[in-house]
């Protein structure tokens, strides 16, 4: 009887190594080995249990792990990486049994707020692929001239790093008049590298604090800095739902 094969990217995604799109990038970058040989073409197939698979030298377990997703409040000053070469990492805040979970999207070292970590390939795909347009909300404290013209520019399809971004929702939510600093709420349905900071730089606003306060309707209310909790079944269902209308 012929052994059943599976696409390599599906195998890796089901074991928490990212969305299928992200896994394909890893394969094409030469980071995946099968039976000791580097595999760099998409569409490769393997036999689970018979073929030995490694990613960055880490052996991939044959059995699917239990699906698990947590939500944490990342403090400022921590990086979303397992490597401590650049300082403290989010894994310093987690118990060893959660080290296999991967960040679903990232917050840079100087940013804080809600962060999901998961080994659920389907959930990772829903939250990272542009077609789902998952909304994420940020509160950003800035200084500089926040005029109607500046707000209109921020809401426009600005060009960042040669890419024309999707429209961004911007609301001034400053609690009281402040001559020096304002608080702007950004709603993004895509998340490019340091996008908000680069947008603010274009209109000459200085960012003092950047906090992710919501991910597709899940607010930061009740989250304690540096702490984590399991995602509820209702929240997971909400995240895997249809894209925002």
- Which of 86, 25, 95 is closest to 56 using CA atoms? 25
Task: Give the residue numbers annotated as catalytic, written as ranges.
Answer: 108
Domain 135-215: homologous superfamily in CATH? Alpha-L RNA-binding motif (3.30.70.1560)
The answer to whether 221 touches 214, Cβ cutoff 8 Å, is: no
The answer to whether 127 touches 105, Cβ cutoff 8 Å, is: yes
Q: Which CATH number fits domain 71-130+220-239: 2.40.50.140, 3.40.1160.10, 3.30.70.580, 3.40.50.1110?
A: 3.30.70.580
Tell me the pLDDT band of 130, cut-offs 50, 70 and 90: low
| 80, two tokens | 């979303």
Residue position matching structure tokens 């995604």: 13
Tell me the pLDDT band of 107, cut-offs 50, 70 and 90: very high
The per-residue pLDDT for range 133-150, each reduced to its tens digit, is 678 999 999 999 999 999
Mean local confidence (pLDDT), 154-176: 90
Alpha-carbon torsion, ordered 109, 97, 216, 195, to 10 deg = 20
Alpha-carbon torsion, ordered 212, 214, 216, 218, to 10 deg = 140
Q: Is the confidence at residue 163, as pLDDT, over 80?
A: yes
Q: How far apart are CA 180 and CA 195, in angstroms?
A: 23
The per-residue pLDDT for range 8-17, each reduced to its tens digit, is 988 888 787 7
Mean local confidence (pLDDT), 168-197: 87
Tell me the pLDDT band of 85, cut-offs 50, 70 and 90: confident
Alpha-carbon torsion, ordered 70, 190, 135, 215, to 10 deg = 20
Q: Where in the chain is the domain with CATH 3.30.70.580?
A: 71-130+220-239
66: CB partners within 8 A, 6+ apart: none
The per-residue pLDDT for range 18-77, each reduced to its tens digit, is 777 778 888 988 999 999 999 988 888 999 888 999 988 888 878 777 788 999 999 999
Phi and psi angles of residue 149, each rounded to the nearest 5 degrees, phi first: -65, -40
């Amino acid at each position: 009887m012929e052994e059943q094969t599976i696409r390599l990217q599906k195998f890796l995604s089901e074991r928490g190594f990212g969305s299928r799109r992200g896994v394909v990038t890893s394969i094409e970058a030469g980071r995946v080995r099968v039976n000791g040989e580097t595999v760099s073409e998409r569409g490769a197939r393997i036999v689970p249990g018979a073929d030995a698979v490694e990613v960055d030298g880490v052996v991939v377990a044959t059995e699917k792990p239990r699906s698990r997703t947590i939500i944490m409040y990342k403090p400022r000053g921590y990086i979303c990486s397992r490597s401590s070469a650049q300082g403290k990492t989010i894994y310093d805040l987690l118990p060893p049994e959660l080290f296999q979970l991967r960040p679903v999207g990232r917050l840079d070292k100087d940013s804080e707020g809600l962060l999901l970590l998961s080994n659920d390939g389907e959930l990772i795909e829903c939250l990272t692929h542009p077609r789902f347009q998952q909304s994420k909300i940020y509160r950003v404290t800035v200084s500089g001239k926040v005029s109607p013209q500046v707000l209109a520019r921020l809401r426009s399809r600005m060009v960042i790093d040669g890419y024309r971004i999707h429209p961004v929702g911007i609301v001034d939510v400053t609690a009281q008049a402040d001559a020096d600093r304002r608080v702007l709420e950004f709603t993004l349905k895509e998340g490019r590298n340091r996008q908000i900071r680069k947008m603010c730089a274009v209109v000459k606003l200085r960012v003092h604090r950047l906090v992710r306060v919501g991910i597709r309707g899940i607010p930061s209310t009740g989250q304690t800095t540096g702490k984590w909790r399991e995602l509820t079944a209702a929240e997971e269902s909400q995240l895997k739902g249809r894209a925002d209308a």
